[in-house]
């Protein structure tokens, strides 16, 4: 039996019919007055989570908590933190929390495959620091003696999205170096990003980080080969290339070595760190290079504070638990299958994409841990953009379209403009932040109230084609300022949210078998394309469906 057949689920169903469905969001507000905000918002570690614009009451949360308890949330959390084999399909732990706990002794007794987790993490931080500071000080020299001034991270998925998102979000915190130091990211399999970049770069001052947990991902290895071909044009030997221009991060040192990355330029990773949970590991090296190790450690510190909160706060006051249960309520009871992430901050532009991997790759599952087919929805479709930009793009659908969705508004309150700007520029930037805050709050209000907002503000004139149905649920997450620490907290908040949902649904959030078949079939397809290019189509061992055959033929016709 899945969670759907449980007593807790049935209690929630009954509550939905009786206490929620008969009412609109506006009515839920009218019924509880100002108290509703107090009842349905909570604050911890400088983060305010307002759930009052969700179609729920305090009773909903209590019933959801009962369901989480029934599903063994506390025991599962304990298992996660203590290094139990929580990734059941791959029989391994998921110990990303250990990566951000270097200052305590919590993990000093945790061992995986006979290795002490704390010692591995501590050594890794030292390796990262050694490499990052050598580059930052201008002491990492290219083959010809020039300092490295451009670092390109080649990776994909978790080996790209997380570090890229953080580097973009915290660019204002970049370490001051005596010379301009660029950190860039390349992921696309087609080589287009890399090809564009290489045109403007010089081999002597460029360093590539080859970031791949498995070191078998074809996207990354293909880009890495292209980078090496470019390096070979100027640099006389592969050993000089490896020594001066390559750094690797992987769980397979022998694969890095075979590929040409010398051991002193390697950073370790381990099975027990999932790709999409790996920005806190050596995969975060680009962050440490761009922002400095001190800021990287502040990011870890922020995440660690959220880890402690998640482990210790009561379920009622637990931010990840509340965010997760709200999602479950929306997905499973209110039938909302799409979730939009709206950061009101240009620096968080890459956050929606990051969260779409985190959530959809983790919880985009349809069998339980026992192998039973689920009879309810799991991860919704996640998409988003900078909120204020999205207002001029997909908000039309949010306000007047037909699909059912819910939204997360995420906004830092303050922005500290650099003191290097003139007073006038700073004043203007402050005004822009007020404008941004006003839009954030106004939009969630209009989504909730629709046309009814007019009765509160008679100056707005309406016409029939301007109907706003409203009654759209959203959460708002507000925090003081975007800093390495607050970003660390925010990311860990969502990581744990995903975990809580997986526990309630009894699915495994730490594997991703769904992406494997496509990779395998792409190999056979590549083989067919290459044979056709050589005029050897008869030697193909694969047969294709009519559509694939048609597409391959069309490609081939236009390739020549
Ligand atoms: O294909 C999915 C995936 O395995 C992700 O989970 C992972 O983040 C990404 O590919 C990259 O994998 P790797 O770091 O092993 O190259």
Burial 451-487 (b: 16+ CB within 10 A, else e): ebbbeeeeeeeeeeeeebebbbbbbbbbbeebbbbbb
Query: In 10 A of CB 374, how many CB atoms?
Result: 16
Residue 413 phi/psi, 5° resolution? -80, -45
Q: Quick one: 339 and 418 in the same domain?
A: yes
pLDDT number for residue 560: 59
Confidence of residue 458 (pLDDT cuts 50, 70, 90): low
HEC readout, 158-202:
HHCHHHHHHHHHCHHHCCCCCCCCEEEEECCCCCHHHHHHHCCCC
Q: Quick one: 479 and 548 in the same domain?
A: no
Q: From 267, 296, 325, give the residue that closes a domain.
A: 296
Indicate whether 460 pLDDT > 70. no
Q: Quick one: 259 and 154 in the same domain?
A: yes
Residue 382 maps to which CATH number? 3.40.50.10490
276 close to ligand 1 (CB < 6 Angstrom): yes
Catalytic residue among 15, 290, 361, 495: 361
304 occurs within a structural domain: no
Indicate whether 259 pLDDT > 70. yes
187 close to ligand 1 (CB < 6 Angstrom): no
Could you report how far apart the first and last alpha carbons of the chain are, in Å?
A: 57
Express as a percent the part of the chain with pLDDT over 70.
Answer: 99
375 occurs within a structural domain: yes
* Catalytic residue flag (residue 317): no
158 close to ligand 1 (CB < 6 Angstrom): yes
Indicate whether 297 pLDDT > 80. yes
Q: Quick one: 418 and 481 in the same domain?
A: yes
Q: Quick one: 432 and 551 in the same domain?
A: no
462 occurs within a structural domain: no
Q: Tell me the mean pLDDT in the region 524-543.
A: 85
Structure tokens at 118: 């704390």
Q: Tell me the mean pLDDT in the region 360-379.
A: 98
303 occurs within a structural domain: no
CA-nearest residue for atom 6, ligand 1, is 275
The C-alpha R_g of the chain, in whole angstroms, comes to 25
159 close to ligand 1 (CB < 6 Angstrom): yes
Pick the atom of ligand 1 nearest to 278's CA. 8
pTM of the shown model: 0.96
Pick the atom of ligand 1 nearest to 515's CA. 1
Q: Quick one: 76 and 168 in the same domain?
A: no
Give the domain range for residue 383.
3-32+52-82+313-451+474-511
Which residues are within 8 A (CB) of 125 and not within 5 positions of it... i.e. 6 or more apart?
102, 293, 297
pLDDT number for residue 363: 98
Indicate whether 340 pLDDT > 90. yes
* Catalytic residue flag (residue 244): no
* Catalytic residue flag (residue 168): no
pLDDT number for residue 533: 86
Q: Quick one: 364 and 494 in the same domain?
A: yes
Indicate whether 52 pLDDT > 60. yes
pLDDT in tens, 197-227: 999 999 999 999 999 999 999 999 999 999 9
Q: How many domains does the chain have?
A: 3
Structure tokens at 507: 């699915």
432: part of which helix (H) or strand (E)?
helix 423-449
pLDDT number for residue 456: 60
pLDDT in tens, 505-523: 999 999 999 999 999 999 9
238 occurs within a structural domain: yes
Q: Quick one: 191 and 70 in the same domain?
A: no
393 close to ligand 1 (CB < 6 Angstrom): no
pLDDT number for residue 516: 93
Q: Quick one: 358 and 225 in the same domain?
A: no
Helix, strand or coil, per DSSP, at residue 387: helix
CA-nearest residue for atom 1, ligand 1, is 515
Indicate whether 442 pLDDT > 80. yes
Indicate whether 123 pLDDT > 60. yes
């Amino acid at each position: 039996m899945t969670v759907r057949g449980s007593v807790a689920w049935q209690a929630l169903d009954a509550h939905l019919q009786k206490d929620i469905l008969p009412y609109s969001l506006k009515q839920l507000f009218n019924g509880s007055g100002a108290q509703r905000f107090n009842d349905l918002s909570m604050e911890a570690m400088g983060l305010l989570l307002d759930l009052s614009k969700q179609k729920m009451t305090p009773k909903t949360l209590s019933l959801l908590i009962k369901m989480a308890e029934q599903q063994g949330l506390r025991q599962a959390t304990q298992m996660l933190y203590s290094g139990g084999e929580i990734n059941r399909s791959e029989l391994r732990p998921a110990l990303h929390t250990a990566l951000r706990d270097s200052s305590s002794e919590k993990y000093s007794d945790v061992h995986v495959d006979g290795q002490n987790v704390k010692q591995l993490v501590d050594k890794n931080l030292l390796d990262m620091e050694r490499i990052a500071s050598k580059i930052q000080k201008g002491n990492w020299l290219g083959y010809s003696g020039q300092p490295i001034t451009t670092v390109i991270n080649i990776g994909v998925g978790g080996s790209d999205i997380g570090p890229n998102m953080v580097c973009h979000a915290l660019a204002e915190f970049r370490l001051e170096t005596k010379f301009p130091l660029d950190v860039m990211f390349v992921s696309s399999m087609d080589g287009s990003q890399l090809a564009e970049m290489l045109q403007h770069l010089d081999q002597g001052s460029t360093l590539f980080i080859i970031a791949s947990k498995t070191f078998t991902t074809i996207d990354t290895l293909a880009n890495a080969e292209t980078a090496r071909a470019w390096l070979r044009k100027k640099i006389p030997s592969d050993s000089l290339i490896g020594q001066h221009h390559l750094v690797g991060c992987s769980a397979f040192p022998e694969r890095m070595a075979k590929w040409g990355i010398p051991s002193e330029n390697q950073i370790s990773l381990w099975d027990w760190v999932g790709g999409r949970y790996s920005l806190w590991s050596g995969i975060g090296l680009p962050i440490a290079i761009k922002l400095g190790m001190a800021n990287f450690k502040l990011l870890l510190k922020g995440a660690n504070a959220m880890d402690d909160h998640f482990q210790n706060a009561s379920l009622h006051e637990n931010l990840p638990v509340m965010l997760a249960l709200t999602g479950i309520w929306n997905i499973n009871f209110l039938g909302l299958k799409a979730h939009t992430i709206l950061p009101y901050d240009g620096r968080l532009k890459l956050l929606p994409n990051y969260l779409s991997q985190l959530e959809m790759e983790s919880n985009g599952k349809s069998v339980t841990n026992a192998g039973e087919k689920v009879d309810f929805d799991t991860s919704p479709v996640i998409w988003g953009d900078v909120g204020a930009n999205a207002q001029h793009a997909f908000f039309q659908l949010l306000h007047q379209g037909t699909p059912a969705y819910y939204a997360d508004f995420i906004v830092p309150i303050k922005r500290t403009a650099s003191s290097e700007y003139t007073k006038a520029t700073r004043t203007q930037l402050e005004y822009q932040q007020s404008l941004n805050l006003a839009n954030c709050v106004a939009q969630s209000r209009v989504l909730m109230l629709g046309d009814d907002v007019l009765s509160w503000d008679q100056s707005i004139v309406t016409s029939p084609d301007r109907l706003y149905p409203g009654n759209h649920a959203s959460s708002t997450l507000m925090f003081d300022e975007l800093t390495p620490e607050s970003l660390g907290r925010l990311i860990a908040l969502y990581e744990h949210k995903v975990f809580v949902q997986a526990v309630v649904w009894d699915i495994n959030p730490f594997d991703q078998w769904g992406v494997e078949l496509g990779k395998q079939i792409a190999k056979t397809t590549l083989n067919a394309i290459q044979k056709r290019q050589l005029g050897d189509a008869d030697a193909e061992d694969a047969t294709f469906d009519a559509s694939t055959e048609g597409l391959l033929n069309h490609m081939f016709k236009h390739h020549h």
